[in-house]
Structure 1
C-alpha cells in the first residue's frame, strides 16, 4: 500500500537509484549539456562525472538546465495515480538553480496538494533532508510533518568544500560572495561554505593537503554535540576524498549512525560547476 505522502526530489540530491527506490523517492533529473548534446543526469549513461571532468579540462562548453514544470507535474500526477494523497517535493537551493521554481509552478496545477521545499542546500545536504522526510512519511506522518522534518534537517546541515580553482564556479555564475577570492585564486585553495543557499567564502589556504586538514577540522567541529550522518563527495579526486573520509571515521566514530561516512563522486550537474579536484563534506545532525 503506498504511503499517503509521496516524496519527490531532484538528481542533485545525490541519492543512488537503489536508495531512492528503497525509500520510495521519485528523483527528477536536471540536465547537463556537453557541447551541443543534452543529457538527463542519472538517467543517461553518457552523463558521468568522468565525462564532465574530461570536458571541463578540454574546455568543451558545459552547462546545466533545470527540469521543466511539466516534468515535475508528471511526477506529481504519477504519485496521485499510485494512491498518494499529498506530495512533498524537496530541492536544492533556489539561489543556484531554477529547479525549485519549476517545482513550485508544477505544484499549482497538481491534482493533489504538493508542498515544495527550498532546502537552501546542495548535494547530500539535500539528500539527508529527503531521507529524514522519508522516515517521517514511513511512520505515517502528515505532509506538514514530513515537510518540517526535511526543513529542519537541511537547516542543521553544514556543507563545506574546496576547489582547485574558482574558474568553473565563475563561468557558471554560481560564485556569489566567493567572488572576492577570485583575484588570489591562483595562489590559494579556496575553502567555501553554503550560507543561506549561496556559495560563500570561508578561508584561503595554500595547499590541497592543508585544505583537506581544515575540512576535517571544520567537519569535526560541526559535529560537536550531535549524532551525525556525514558524506564526502568529490570530482576526479578519489584519493583525497577517501583520505578525508578515513580521518572523519576515526575522529567521529562515536557520533556516526548506520550510514557512517559515505564517499562518492558528485553528479554531472554539480560537477559541471565545481570542476575537477573538488572535495566536499556534509555534516548532517540527526538529532535536530
Structure 2
C-alpha cells in the first residue's frame, strides 16, 4: 500500500524509555500495579521508586492493562492517521498482555498484527524500538514485520537480582529455582528461554561475581556480531548500570547504540530493588 503510516504499539512491561517512546512515537499500553487501596497505571500514575519505597509496607500485584485503555489507544492511533498497527509485546509466557492485544486486533479499527517477543523488560522493548525506527524511516510494512521478527530472534537479556523473593511471590519464578542457596549467597543469572519463560543460564556467588558473570554472558552472545545495540536496565541501581555499560563498551567494539534506564514499576514489583539487566541486540 502506498503512503502507509505504521504505528508501533508496545506495553509498559517492555520498558521502552519514555524519551525514546516520545521521540519515535511509540504507543505504550500501561499494565496495572495494584495495591489494596487502589490500582495505578504502570509508569503513568506510579513510578518504580515509589514501588521500591513501599515494599516493606505492602508488596503490590500486577495485572493486565485495562480494556478501556487499549480501546482508547487504538482509537487514538486511528485518529492520528495511521493505516496499520504493529504490536510488539512482552512474552506471552510471562503475561497475558500479548493474548489480550492479539484478541483485540480482530476488532481493531485499522489492520493490526501482534508479535510475541518471548522476552521481558528492555529485552522486549528493544524490538519495539527497532520496529519504530523502521516505521519512522518509512520502510514498507511487510519489511518492518520481517526485520522486527529478526530483531526478536537476535535479542537476549541477562538479569541479576538482589533477591528472588519478589519473583517467587509474584508467581513468575518460571524455571528458576527459588531454593538456590541463600545461605551461600548463590545468585542465578536469569534469561528468557525459547518459550519466553524465565530460566537460569548460570550461577555465581555474591553480587559482584554474578554481575561479572552476566557481563561475560553478554559479551559471549555478542562476540560474532558486526554491530550490536546494548541496553542496561536497573532497579534503583544506576551506579552499577553505568559501570557495567562502560565495561562492556570498552570490551565490545561492535556497540553502535547504548541505552541505560530504569525498569518499569510493574517489573520492579516482581524483581525488587537492585536488579541489573544486560540486553544485547545483534543488528
Task: Establish whether TM, by shorter chain, passes 0.5.
Answer: yes
In the other structure, the counterpart of 1:233 is 233
- Work out whether 1:276 is the aligned partner of 2:273: yes
In the other structure, the counterpart of 2:249 is 249
Residue 3 of structure 1: how far off its partner (Å): 5.4
Deviations along 1:42-100, whole A, 9 cap, x unmatched? 211xx2222211222x0513111111343223222222222221111110001111111
CA distance in 2, matches of 1:41, 1:142: 32
In the other structure, the counterpart of 2:208 is 209
What is the 5 A alignment of 1:68-107? 68-107=66-105
CA distance in 2, matches of 1:18, 1:240: 22
Seen in structure 2, the aligned counterparts of structure 1 residues 74 and 145 have a Cα distance that, compared at 3 Å, is: farther
Gaps of 5+ in 1: none
What is the 5 A alignment of 1:1-288? 4-44=5-45, 47-56=46-55, 58-179=56-177, 181-187=178-184, 188-196=186-194, 197-226=196-225, 227-252=227-252, 254-257=253-256, 259-260=257-258, 262-286=259-283
CA distance in 2, matches of 1:80, 1:48: 29
CA distance in 2, matches of 1:70, 1:109: 14
Gaps of 5+ in 2: none
Residue 134 of structure 1: how far off its partner (Å): 1.7
Seen in structure 2, the aligned counterparts of structure 1 residues 127 and 173 have a Cα distance that, compared at 3 Å, is: same
Give structure 1 regions of 4+ aligned residues with deviation exceeding 3 angstroms: none
**Equivalent residues of 1:229, 1:284 under 8 A apart:** yes
Deviations along 1:191-229, whole A, 9 cap, x unmatched? 111112110012221111101111111111111121111
What SS does structure 2 have at the residue aligned with 1:189? strand
Seen in structure 2, the aligned counterparts of structure 1 residues 104 and 186 have a Cα distance that, compared at 3 Å, is: farther
Deviations along 1:217-265, whole A, 9 cap, x unmatched? 111111112111111111122222222112112111x2111x23x2222
Seen in structure 2, the aligned counterparts of structure 1 residues 21 and 3 have a Cα distance that, compared at 3 Å, is: farther
CA distance in 1, matches of 2:266, 2:229: 23
Q: Which moved more, 1:127-136 or 1:206-215?
A: 127-136
Seen in structure 2, the aligned counterparts of structure 1 residues 184 and 28 have a Cα distance that, compared at 3 Å, is: same
Residue 183 of structure 1: how far off its partner (Å): 4.4
**Equivalent residues of 1:3, 1:138 under 8 A apart:** no
Aligned-residue CA RMSD in angstroms?
1.7
TM-score with structure 2 length normalisation?
Answer: 0.92
**Equivalent residues of 1:66, 1:98 under 8 A apart:** yes
Q: Give the length in aligned residue pairs.
A: 278
**Equivalent residues of 2:4, 2:84 under 8 A apart:** no
Q: Which has the higher helix share?
A: 1
